[in-house]
Structures are given as structure tokens and as C-alpha cells.
Amino acid sequence: MSVFTKVSPDQLNAWLKNYAIGSLVELKGIAAGIENTNYFVTTTSGRFVLTLFEKLTADELPFYLKLMAHLAHHGVPCPSPIANNDDEILGALNGKPATLVTCLPGAPVMSPNAAHCALIGATLADMHLAGRSYSLVLEHPRGAAWRRETAPKVMPFLDDDRRSLLSSELEFQDSAPHAGLPRGPIHADLFRDNALWEGTDAAPRLGGVIDFYFAGVDAWLFDVAVTLNDWCVGADGAIDPARAEAMLAAYRAKRAFTNAEVAAWPSMLRAGALRFWLSRLHDFYLPRPGELTHAHDPEHFRRILELRRANAAPLIA
Amino acid sequence: MSVFTKVSPDQLNAWLKNYAIGSLVELKGIAAGIENTNYFVTTTSGRFVLTLFEKLTADELPFYLKLMAHLAHHGVPCPSPIANNDDEILGALNGKPATLVTCLPGAPVMSPNAAHCALIGATLADMHLAGRSYSLVLEHPRGAAWRRETAPKVMPFLDDDRRSLLSSELEFQDSAPHAGLPRGPIHADLFRDNALWEGTDAAPRLGGVIDFYFAGVDAWLFDVAVTLNDWCVGADGAIDPARAEAMLAAYRAKRAFTNAEVAAWPSMLRAGALRFWLSRLHDFYLPRPGELTHAHDPEHFRRILELRRANAAPLIA
């Protein structure tokens, strides 16, 4: 349940007086999501999502919100924050930083086919290209620095095999050729549950990409690796060549990979797996106090990491 | 037919390479509209409208396009211009200034009821309030200066009664108490054909307001008068009290009218009628060379003007 902070229709009506979005028709809590409080807000002018931020602060949020506004302004299907009559996209409601964004149509698809993967690949490339003119910078919060900081915290909980795997991979990643790769704002968490779909499996239409609250500036190729590691794999984590090639071909049609990216691809697939193995280990062994456990099984990404270490999938430029 | 400048799918595909909106699925000319060339553009990322400007120039367009972007950013349902990968919302295609905007759902309703009028009134107030933080300025191109310039051109074509009516009304308007009224960006042409609706007559939903290419900075009350003179009248031009009160009550719920506006209302209803009588006279008697005649009958707005002169409808603050 993701309504941590309650909002009543009367409270929202008062808050909406400073917005130009008509008057409230319906207010409804959203069950999905574990980081923020979310409501569907229907007004006479349209449908919106109200988010109250439970952990992120008004210092961190502008990067995320303005990135969404920037991408939406470039036609990328993603939520667009709505400005109030003071021209602000971030306000406060019931003591929490709060924002209203446009509501996208569709629902997640958990068993995507090659058509879904192609659309996700093209949209990811569009996001990267449109992000080139985005001026705010936030270093990717789950990048190399976070990795170095987090690994020692989980290490004591691991058995010998896993400790050895983690140490070995950290050492490998520290010398991986990722420093000079093309970079910019990345979504960094474009899993299947963060894309909404309309249409049919045979002819899917992307309603949009949501949840930019892990975004940051990092190598574009990291975003591709993270996305592929979720969308284009079987239950065992092995890459499905048809879906992987559909995604990469659609991405490549928008932006060709550089030679440096081709060389870095096998190690980047491992970096993408490592990032989620590590965060899931952390959530599993070190849940925040008082937090309901939503921890995903860390083993899924350990298996993916082992597979990527064993088999270096090639990337064509 | 409003495709004055043809665009082929190949030409558009080449142009879209600099946009982050996926790849072209369908391109289809739009029949409505008499000033610009319009196409529906469907891509893998969504539906857009491509407009090639046949008369407006790249000097005049930023005010209109950025106003639409500003209002959409504030949640007003209106087309939102899409930026290309150079971060520009205005480009050139086949020698014409060209822009892509989001495509709104719905269709015009030519026999609106009180529910439609209430939603239009609320949205008009939302536009006015959201426009307060808009920084560009373009003096309303059909304001007092245009009126003074245009009247002598059509005068020679009029019979004695109409000439006398026009002279008398111009003189009256020059001394009307409109100078100090609250002002800002106004749509200035929010007729029934510039609003798109979904839903039913009993429960209409406003898809959005389109065609901002007569917008400018002028008295908000002028916008209300122009809108009411089209939405809340019978075929004879007489005000329908139920629809008029629905529109004004919804507007007022968002923004109370000032005492000066209440005093100016009867003369402003006349100013709104005069503006369209004059432009229709001009289009009728002085069509641009080579132009197909789309001229509306000027008499409709002459009758509205006569009615507003005879009956001063009150406005409650």
C-alpha cells in the first residue's frame, strides 16, 4: 500500500485553488509504489497523479521533476509535472514535498515480446538524445561511488562464494573501460513495471515511461544494459536473443553505438547486474528501520551477474 | 481543404530524425482550418499535429507557441509544442515555418449546453490565471489599433444604416472604460470550433482548446465577452441566460470580476461583437488576392452588436 500520507478531498481542493486544472472530480489512492504516496486526481481538465515524496527532499527533486518536464516537452511519453499559478512544479501538501504530473494511459506488461522491446529501445534512445539539452546535473546516485560505499555494508552477510563473487566483480568494474563513454541523463531503472502499455501484444503502443526517481547522469550504455537485463531475459536471467536484438536494433536506429561502447558492452551488462544485486542485498539485509519489507530476492541478479560473466554478449555498433 | 503545402512521408521522416518522438506510423492531411497547413502525425510515441504556417512568420510565432507551451505546462488542456533535439519548438519544413504540437482528443460541439459553457468558462479563467506568469508580450492584433485601421477600409462598402452603426459604435468604444481593466494573454477567438469535446452532452469532458493564433495581450474581460457571444447565444444572437450564467458562474468561481469589469461588461460585449463584425466585413469585401472565399456572413455579428446595444446584460462580480 503506497498511501503513507493521507490527503482528503477538502485538503486537495484547497491546494488546487492555486492550479489552473479545473475542479476536482475524483481522488483515489494508488496501491503500487513503495517510495512515495501516490493518488490519481481527476479534475474537469483531465487526469493527473499527485505524488507526496516520503524520502526525497525538495533539494533533490528539481533534477527529477525538471528532467521529466524536459523530456515530455520533447515528446518523450513520460509524466509531465504541472506548474501552479506561482509557476512552481514543486509544492508542499500535508508537510511533504508534493507535485502533480500528467497521468499516462496503459498498464505494465510483465511478459514483453520483441515488439515491446523494440519500442522500449527506441524510446530509451529518444530519451538519451533529448536529454542532451538538459542542463541540470545530478551524479547517478547508484553509480560507482555508491557501489564502493555499499559493498562493505553487505559483505558480512554473504557466504564465501558470494563474497568472493562480489569482491571479484567490484575489482573488475573498477578497471572497466567506462570512464569516457557518452553520457547524459539516464532513467537508470527502466524495468518492466516502469512502462505503461496500451494496444495488444501483437501491436503494442507505449503509454509512457514512469518513475524517474533513480535517474542521474551516467553512461547511456549503463541505461541500455539495465533495461536489457530486465526486458530481454528469461526467468533464469539468460538473454533472449530475439528480444535483445529487437531492443538494440531500435536503439541503434536512433543512435549508433560508438566503438568504445561496443568494447564496453560485456562489462556494462555486468555493471548493470551488479548495481541491482547490490541494492537488493542491501534492502534484504539492511532494511530501513520500521520499513515493511518489499525486498526483491537478491539471487535473481546474482544469477544474471554470473551469466554475464560467463557469456559476453556482443553489441553491434 | 487546408493542405496548402504538401509534405510527403519521406520528407517528414527526414525532418523527424531531429525529434525524440519515435518513428512515423501515419501522416494524414487535416481538412479543417483556413490559415495554415495541418497534418495528423502518428508516431510510435503518440499522436501529434504538424502545422506549416502559411501567413504567420517566424517573428510572430514564438508568442503563440510559447504561450501554448506555458499553458499546457500549467495543466490547461491545449496543444503543447514539441521541442526538437536542438531544443527548438519552431523549425522549417518545405520552406514554411513549421511546428509539431500534441494532438488533443475530441471534436467540436456546435450546440453546447450549460455543462459545456460551464467548462469553457472555468477553463477560460484557468487560462487567464495561468497566463499571469507568461513573460512574452504581443499586443492583441485585433485590438483598438486594428479597429481604427480597418473600419475606414470597409466603410465604403456599407449602406447608410450600417455605416452609421459602425461610426457610432467606434466612437462609443473609443470612450468605453476599458483601459484600466485586468489584462494578460487572451485566446481572443475561443469559438465553438476551437474546443474539442469527449464524453456526452449530459457529461461532457473538454479535450482541449485549440488555435491560439489570434491570441495577444488584452483585457481578460474581452476574452469572456468574445467567448460568451459565441457559446451562449441562440441562432439570432440573443443571449441564452441559462448558458451565459453557467459560463460566468464557472469563470467567477475561479476569478471574481472586479467592480471595473462589472461596469465595463455591457460595452465589452459590444466590443467583442464589433471585432468580429469588422473582420468579417473585411474578409467579405476585401478578400486577399487568390484566396478561396471562406468568409462568414458579417450580418450575424451586426445583429449581435445591435442586440448588445439595445440590451445591456448585467454581470455579477
My answer on whether B149 and B221 are in the same domain is: yes
Confidence of residue B293 (pLDDT cuts 50, 70, 90): low
B159 touches A at CB < 8 Å? no
pLDDT in tens, B239-283: 999 999 999 999 999 999 999 999 999 999 999 999 999 999 999
- Residue B69: closest CA among chain A residues belongs to which residue? A73
Interface size between A and B, measured as CB pairs under 8 A = 106
- What nine digits make up the cell of A240? 533472449
Question: Does residue A88 fall inside a structural domain?
Answer: yes
Task: Compute the half-sphere exposure of residue B97: CA atoms within 13 Å on the CB side of its CA.
Answer: 15
Distance between CA atoms of residues A258 and A107, nearest Å: 34
Question: Are B143 and B267 within one domain?
Answer: yes
- The answer to whether residue A1 is domain-embedded is no
> Rounded to 5 degrees, what angle do the CA atoms B18, B14, B66 make?
45
For residue A70, the chain B residue with the least C-alpha distance is B83
pLDDT value of position B107? 97
Query: Do A283 and A170 share a structural domain?
Result: yes
**Pairing mode, if any, of strands B216-219 and B183-186?**
antiparallel
Residues B164 and B285 grouped into a single domain:
yes
Q: Look at residue A84 in the predicted model and tell me its pLDDT.
A: 97
A107 within domain boundaries: no
Give the residue among B178, B143, B201, B188 at the shortest CA–CA distance from B263.
B178
Q: Please report, rounded to a whole number, the percentage of residues in chain B having pLDDT higher than 90.
A: 89
Give me the number of domains chain B comprises.
2
Query: Does one domain contain both A57 and A171?
Result: no
CB of A129 less than 8 A from some CB of B? yes
Q: Do A19 and B48 touch (CB under 8 A)?
A: no
Average pLDDT over residues B104-128: 98
Q: Give the CATH number of the domain where residue B28 resides.
A: 3.30.200.20
Question: Mean pLDDT of all residues in chain A?
Answer: 95
B278 touches chain A (CB under 8 A): no
**Residue A1: pLDDT over 60:** no
High-pLDDT (> 90) share of chain A, %: 89
- B41 in A contact zone (CB under 8 Å): no
Grid cell digits, residue B36? 495554415
Domain residues for B139? 114-310
Residue numbers in B near A85 (CB within 8 A)? 74, 129-130, 132-133
Is the residue at B200 inside a domain?
yes
User: B17-48: per-residue pLDDT in tens?
Assistant: 999 999 999 999 998 777 899 999 999 999 99
Is residue B315 in a domain? no
* Biggest CA-to-CA distance, chain B: 60
**Are residues A92 and A141 both part of a single domain?**
no
Is A317 within the bounds of a domain? no
Task: Give CA angle at B257 (B66, B203), nearest 5°.
Answer: 70
Same domain, B207 and B276: yes
Q: What is the ipTM of this complex?
A: 0.90
Q: Searching chain B, which residue's CA lies closest to the CA of residue A119? A: B44
Pairing of strands A24-29, A36-43: antiparallel
Last residue of a domain, one of B57, B76, B102: B102
The answer to whether the Cβ–Cβ distance between A45 and B133 falls below 8 Å is: no
Bridge partners, B196 (sequence order): B208
End-to-end CA distance of chain B: 43
Tell me: pLDDT of A3 over 80.
no
Nearest residue on chain B to A42, alpha-carbon basis? B205
Residue B184 CA to residue B136 CA, distance in Å, equals 10
- Alpha-carbon distance of A47 to A40, in angstroms, equals 7
Which CATH number does the domain housing residue A306 bear?
Answer: 3.90.1200.10
Residues B91 and B239 in one domain: no
The pLDDT assigned to B66 comes to 98
Q: Which residues pair with B52 in a beta bridge?
A: B37, B98
Closest Cα partner for A186 from A64, A21, A26, A3?
A: A64
Q: DSSP state, A183?
A: E
**Domain identity same for B134 and B168:** yes
Contact A20 B129 (CB under 8 A): yes
Does the beta-carbon distance from B73 to A86 stay under 8 Å? no
Same domain, yes or no: B133 and B227 = yes
Q: Is the pLDDT confidence value at B1 over 50?
A: no
Domain membership flag for residue A162:
yes
Residues A53 and A122 in one domain: no
Position A264 pLDDT exceeds 90? yes
Instruction: Give me the helix-helix angle, A259-285 and A299-310, nearest 10°.
Output: 150
Taking CB atoms and an 8 Å cutoff, what residues of chain A touch B253?
Answer: 23
Final residue before a domain boundary, out of B102, B126, B161: B102
Which of B76, B83, B205 lies nearest to residue A74, judging by beta carbons?
B83
Q: Are residues B118 and B238 in the same domain?
A: yes
The verdict on residue B182 lying in a domain is yes
The pLDDT-based confidence of A291 (bands split at 50, 70, 90) is: low
Pairwise CA distance, residues A230 & A188, whole Å: 12
pLDDT class for A293, splitting at 50, 70, 90?
low
Angle between helices A220-231 and A114-130 (to 10 degrees): 160
- Contact residues on chain B for A73, CB-CB shorter than 8 A: 69, 80, 82-83
Q: What is the amino acid identity at position B209?
A: V
